[in-house]
Structure 1
Amino acid sequence: MSDLYSELLVKRERTIKDSIVKYGLIVLTVIAVIASLISTPLIWIAAIALGIACYFVIPKTDVEYEYLFVNGEFDIDMVMAKSKRKRVKSFNLSEADLVAPLNSHRMDYYNGNQNMKVLDYSSGNPQHKRFGVITRLDNATCKIILEPDEALAQAMKKTAPSKVFLD
């Protein structure tokens, strides 16, 4: 018997906020270094702190999500700056309540729920076909937003045909 396997890499689109954070930190660091050279060396402390902040924050502005789907197990990894990988979510599709496109009528009840936690692991582009996965994580109902391609969507449909809707 063959395994249902699908893998997909989705690049999150850079937002205005990401650009402001990235370039703002760089400009502030350069200003702090120049100010410490011109005036008191105590400003070096601020320049070093900003440099450390750049090291940790800037890679988080260049993010890709890797979906790995094997026999109903769905793993989502976050790849930061094409160098650091972190597993952000794992769930079993058989435990999900519903998988459907975000604009589907099947998601109407869940789209109106303000108390539901929303985890967005898609490109963030509303023009792309994004799916919502309604499942229970940590004893709370949450909506996981994904952006599968056709092969991944079909593999999900084959695994749980009564829960996955491709309309």
Structure 2
Amino acid sequence: MNDTYVEVMVARKKNPLVGIGRTACYVLSVIFFLLGIVSSGVLIVIAAALAAVAYFVFPRLDIEYEYLYIDREISIDKIMSKEKRKNVYTVDLNKMECIAPVNSHELDSYKARNLKVYDFTSLEEDAKVYSIVYETGREGTVLVNFEPNEEMLRAIKNVFPRKVMDI
């Protein structure tokens, strides 16, 4: 079988408040632990809770997206803290209406309909973001925002030449 395979990784823009919050949780957990040793055991429990939040919650905010194009299907995976992978969306391109840059006039009629938008982008200001207009069946028509590279766009355009706009 001659399947086309293209893989693209995009790291989500890091929020500077996440690093500050993580550091604050660790510092407060040390302070509460030391105060708990001197005074009451309740502060030790609070210290443990803060440390758990810093250790388990904040790493999940380090997000990357992986787009896999395999012969008429785009699979979007979310990778949290470079360890845990989860498939968050799959687009069957046979059901798409078009792919166009997010600021393209091709999408104006869809944006006017207030469709549900799934955003799987890096949130960088200079990123080349494209939208897939996709008919899901159960949710109706949705917009899926992502950041494909030129190779992925060419591979899709080879199969769907009239549906890929403005490469």
The reply to whether TM is greater than 0.5 is yes
- The TM-score normalised by the length of structure 2 is 0.86
Q: Is 1:71 paired with 2:71? A: yes
8 A contact 1:128–1:147 mirrored in 2: yes
Instruction: Give the Cα separation in 2 of the matches to 1:164 and 1:82.
Output: 31
What does residue range 124-163 of structure 1 map to in structure 2 within 5 Å?
124-137=123-136, 138-163=138-163
> How many matched pairs?
166
Alpha-carbon displacement from aligned partner over 1:90-139 (angstroms, at most 9, x marks no partner): 1211111221100111112233444x222211111121111011213442
For 1:31 and 1:109, the matched residues in 2 are separated by 56
Q: Tell me the distance in 2 between the aligned counterparts of 1:29 and 1:103.
A: 46
SS state at 1:14 partner: coil
TM-score by length of 1: 0.86
Q: Deviations over 1:32-81 (max 9, x none)?
A: 33332332111222222222222331122211111111001111111111
Structure 1 unaligned residues grouped into runs of 5+: none
Partner of 1:4: 4
State how 1:98-117 maps to structure 2 within 5 Å: 98-114=98-114, 116-117=115-116
Supply the distance in 1 between the matched residues of 2:160 and 2:50 (Cα, whole angstroms).
48
% identity of equivalent residues? 34
Whose radius of gyration is greater, 1 or 2?
Answer: 2
The question of whether the paired residues in 2 share the 8 Å contact of 1:153 and 1:166 is answered with no
Quick one: distance in 1 between partners of 2:101 and 2:80? Answer: 26
- Cα distance change, pair 165–16 in 1 and its aligned pair in 2 (3 A): same
Distance (Å, rounded) in 1 between the aligned partners of 2:72 and 2:143: 17
Q: Which moved more, 1:76-85 or 1:156-165?
A: 156-165
CA distance in 1, matches of 2:151, 2:52: 41
Runs of 5+ unmatched residues, structure 2 = none
Q: How far apart, in 2, do the equivalents of 1:139 and 1:35 lie?
A: 53
